[in-house]
Structure 1
């Protein structure tokens, strides 16, 4: 955020896979990997998050997420 204006190009999103063992059970995007891991552990207590790539923009993260759903 610059001067009260949201910077649409800020790289504040993470792409991730949530895995149980070696199996990917969910993929998504988030601004907070730790919080998101705790939320997923309610459903999959023995799982963990694996960050995919680098931090990215919201637009690029949503494009990646949409592509994952088609696969």
Structure 2
């Protein structure tokens, strides 16, 4: 596996984990009922998902930049 593919896969995995955490937070809010109080557990899960989303965005941005850098380098032939 190349470095570019590895970075892209890691970014995708982090993005998926962030999405799962955000969906879990929404489910926790609606499953907890509306009694007028704050759902602390859902808030904590949502606070976990935001840094994961930022990290996945940064990782996928790096992967995109690596791909652009790879396209700009002239390919040398052995002939």
Q: Note whether the superposition's TM-score is higher than 0.5.
A: no
Bigger radius of gyration: 2
Q: Return the TM-score normalized by structure 1.
A: 0.29
TM-score, structure 2 as length reference: 0.27
Say which structure is richer in helix: 2
Structure having the larger proportion of residues in strand: 1
Larger RCO, structures 1/2 (Cα 8 Å, 6+ apart): 2
